[in-house]
Structure 1
């Protein structure tokens, strides 16, 4: 069986403006001016990396800086700086250089996911028009779904 390592790398000196959602691991050593969600794998904010927004992931490691809330569903390791609330449900480890400015809350797994979806700046929803008179429209059944490797999360209001 072949094992593939999927990871997105934000290199030092690189700046990304906007929110990112990935279905695999991500390492950020640059500037991300927006939120980031990693549905699987490791979300790593490396030394020198800066996330200006919410950081959500299965396994989260902060060696750089996050100016926003952090949500970890599995493990959380902080050896950097977090300015914002931290919600976690698995294990947490604070390193000797950890600096926290916010509330630290252990919550049930389903509450580590933000209640409101991240808004994508500048993105508009496409307009949907009604079918012409007499035109038939096929509606996919609940069992017919396109394949996706992105994990779906149920949104929970806190």
Structure 2
């Protein structure tokens, strides 16, 4: 049985501005100036990676730096720096180089998942509104008509 590994890689030297919502794993070794939500898999901020915003994921590993709140539904491992509050549901491991500047709070899993779903919906709505305002000529495109016809 073959399984595929889906992962988004933000490479060293790469800079992304804006929020991201993905349904698979993410490894960030560059700069992400915005929040990120990973609904499945590992959300990894690698050594040299910088996330300026909120990080939410099932399994979260911080080896770089996060300037924002971190929400982990499963496991959390911190070997880097977090300047923000940390909310976790499962296990937590702090490595020898871990640096935390914020509160550390264990929360119920359902509370974190609801917050993730609401935030993901909010980010998706904002992205759609921004895309429509930036490219008004595409707002009336036939892409939705084609997808409706296919369905």
Question: Normalised by the shorter chain, which TM-score bucket?
Answer: 0.7 to 0.9
Counterpart-to-counterpart distance in 1, 2:98 and 2:73 = 19
Equivalent residue number for residue 42 of structure 2:
42
Deviation sequence 1:58-91 (CA, Å, 0-9, x none): 0000000000000000000000000110000100
Equivalent residue number for residue 129 of structure 2:
124
Matches within 5 A, 1:49-88: 49-88=49-88
- What 5-or-longer segments of structure 1 have no aligned partner? 127-145, 147-158
1:122 Cα deviation from its structure 2 partner: 6.5
Which has more helix, going by share of residues?
Answer: 2
Counterpart-to-counterpart distance in 2, 1:122 and 1:41 = 23
Kept in 1, the 8 Å contact 2:21–2:123? The answer is no
Across the two proteins, how many residue pairs are aligned to each other? 127
Matches within 5 A, 1:1-158: 1-113=1-113, 114=115, 117=119, 118-119=122-123, 123-124=128-129
TM-score (norm 1): 0.75
- What 5-or-longer segments of structure 2 have no aligned partner? 133-150
* CA RMSD between the two structures: 1.9
Counterpart-to-counterpart distance in 2, 1:24 and 1:7 = 6
Whose Rg is larger?
1
